Structure 1
Amino acid sequence: MAKEKPTILVVNDDGITAPGIKVLLEEMQKLARVVVVAPDGPQSGMGHAITIGKPLRLDKVDLYPGIEMYKCSGTPVDCVKLAVDRIFKDKKPDLCVSGVNHGLNYSINVLYSGTMSAAVEGAIEGISSIGFSLDDFSHEADFSHIRSYISSISEQVLNNGLPKGTLLNVNFPHIDKGIQGIKICRQANGNWVEEFENRVDPYSRDYYWMTGRYDWVDRGEDTDVFAINNGYVSIVPTQFDMTAHHAIQELNSWSFDIK
């Protein structure tokens, strides 16, 4: 009896017409039956936001031949939730892939990223999940150097699965750097030092535009930031359990004087 072909859910945060999602679904077609559920417009920086208090729309679209596709009025996480509940119903997909994001999602960016939050939601649902991001914000970004890596990494996850509660955060260097190989990394310790420029609109009203710089604190050579800066694909095993387990013993030593 022939083995049933696996199914892959493809999502993103740049919107259903973004070039990155086209690259991702084309590579996934080589491995499985593909279903795409993506926001109807850009949703970058939405993190793990969900839609509450207003209707969600889910409409079938015909953008690419032979691909079952839906556009969603909600966030990237809404897309995963609706896909699992309304499209897949009793049988979850074998893999959830998110991206390819235009721009990196390394270090602290993972907390803000809609791309990674969609993958996190897939993992919460018990689906093996991967978030893919490229160091290129351009709408005309060149993805040619990462296609084979996308396919290989996804195939490995399909074949081997992932530990429970774990997903992969995969970042690719810009095409100008080339690719030296793959590094399994930890998330770099860093943060954004924000600045807000005060500007004035045509109606003489103040508004603010967020700018700033990334501060890489630890400079570790085992981090995702180091890998990308040196032309490597970074793969960070990521979890959604945010418990600081190392702090539990210390907190248990405190004396809480409740009156």
Structure 2
Amino acid sequence: MHALLTNDDGFDSPGLSAIRHSLIEAGHHVTVVAPDGNRSATSHAVTIRPELTLKRLTGLGDPNAIYTCSGRPADCTRVGLFTESLWPEVDVVVSGINIGINLGDDVNMSGTVSAAAEAALHGVKAIAFSQQGTAGGAPFINHSDHEYRLTRYAARLVEALEEADAFERVFLNVNLPHEPIETTARATRLGRRYYKARVSPVRVSAGEWTVAPYASADFPDPPYEKDDGTDFNAVISGVVGVTPIDADRRPAGHDSGTWVEDIIARAGDVTLD
């Protein structure tokens, strides 16, 4: 299996390094094409101008090459799928492991999720991984240290996806809990966040104000849907949540549930590295 690996946190993210190591350890060929810096929350933006720059960081003899790309996450996927001669054809696109969760409505902002969506648009199997920072919650922004202790299981999910029948235009969004409680992952649906905090502009001059971004620590954390079956419910309960998403962000439909359950079964038990 040849996996294209990307993310939105940048090529030097510990989450990307962790899943790369596990995929290589499992005997797979991995090519990294990741942003040359942090591109978090850039969603599905792509670069029209100027030309993108690729830089190889590993030696020419390394079969698992690492490239940086000057573009955004979706650019990295496009480069990885359509660039000729630098690497073999891609079997599956893996995005992540993201620093922090990507649940519910927030997937629409996520560069990590969009990199996987871009692959699905072109008929390539794709999966996005995100990591909960601390157990028990689903904060919009989590500044705690992240541990990547489920990367071998994540690699098995990638293998299971690659082996499974294709499901057109659908990719998987996987959120890994900080402390797994159950040994079986759960097929989930996207939940909702409720953004209610108001923003107070601060005047700096006539006709000019500053406005704090919603990610600021000054804002209360937005509440979220905790109903059974949601991705929020799974992660806060210590369960790996596997959500099928259509590439245009619509729910993937009822038929995708059986497909996801098959992939979960193929991957086996959730185990710590």
TM-score between the two structures when normalised by the length of structure 1: 0.81
Shift of 1:245: 11
Partners of 2:41 and 2:233 lie apart in 1 by 23
8 Å Cα contact 1:197/1:210 also seen in 2: no
8 Å Cα contact 2:39/2:72 also seen in 1: yes
Give the aligned residue type for 2:189: R
Q: Which residue of 2 aligns with 1:40?
A: 36
8 Å Cα contact 1:19/1:139 also seen in 2: no
1:126 maps onto 2:131 in alignment: no
Partners of 1:131 and 1:245 lie apart in 2 by 15
Partners of 1:32 and 1:139 lie apart in 2 by 31
For residue 238 of structure 1, the aligned residue among 238, 245, 266 is 245
Which stretches of structure 1, 4 residues or more, deviate above 4 A after TM superposition?
A: 87-91, 137-140, 197-201, 242-246
Q: 1:200 to 1:69 in 2, by over 3 A?
A: farther
Shift of 1:149: 1.8
Larger Rg: 1
1:2-55 deviation line (CA, Å, top 9, x unaligned): xxxx21000000000110100111112124211000000000000000012322
Give the aligned residue type for 2:34: A
For residue 234 of structure 2, the aligned residue among 209, 215, 227 is 227
| Between structures 1 and 2, the one with greater strand share | 1
Give the aligned residue type for 1:42: N
Q: 1:16 to 1:91 in 2, by over 3 A?
A: closer
Give the aligned residue type for 1:143: Y
Q: Which residue of 2 aligns with 1:61?
A: 57
Q: Which residue of 2 aligns with 1:190?
A: 193
1:183-238 deviation line (CA, Å, top 9, x unaligned): 1111113343354354688xxx7422223432324x32111000011110000011
Give the aligned residue type for 1:239: D
Partners of 2:10 and 2:251 lie apart in 1 by 34
8 Å Cα contact 1:105/1:133 also seen in 2: yes
For residue 181 of structure 2, the aligned residue among 179, 182, 188 is 179
Partners of 1:189 and 1:132 lie apart in 2 by 19
Q: Secondary structure at the match of 2:223?
A: strand
Question: Which 10-residue stretch deviates more, 106-115 or 85-94?
Answer: 85-94
Q: Secondary structure at the match of 1:168?
A: strand
Give the aligned residue type for 2:152: S
Shift of 1:152: 1.8
Q: Which residue of 2 aligns with 1:13?
A: 8
Cα RMSD over matched residues? 2.7
- Using CA pairs under 8 Å that are at least 6 residues apart, name the structure with larger relative contact order, 1 or 2: 2
For residue 165 of structure 1, the aligned residue among 145, 163, 169 is 169
Q: Which residue of 1 aligns with 2:18?
A: 23
Q: 1:89 to 1:239 in 2, by over 3 A?
A: farther
Q: Secondary structure at the match of 1:28?
A: helix
Q: 1:227 to 1:66 in 2, by over 3 A?
A: same
Partners of 2:36 and 2:72 lie apart in 1 by 9
Shift of 1:67: 2.3
* Unaligned ranges ≥5, structure 2: 134-141, 254-273
1:31-87 deviation line (CA, Å, top 9, x unaligned): 421100000000000000001232211111128x65211100110000011111214
Q: Which residue of 2 aligns with 1:252?
A: none
8 Å Cα contact 2:170/2:252 also seen in 1: no
Give the aligned residue type for 1:168: L
Q: 1:187 to 1:31 in 2, by over 3 A?
A: farther
8 Å Cα contact 2:246/2:252 also seen in 1: no
Identity %: 28
- Count of aligned pairs between the two proteins: 234
Partners of 1:88 and 1:195 lie apart in 2 by 51
Give the aligned residue type for 1:86: T
* Unaligned ranges ≥5, structure 1: 1-5, 247-259
Q: Secondary structure at the match of 1:101?
A: strand
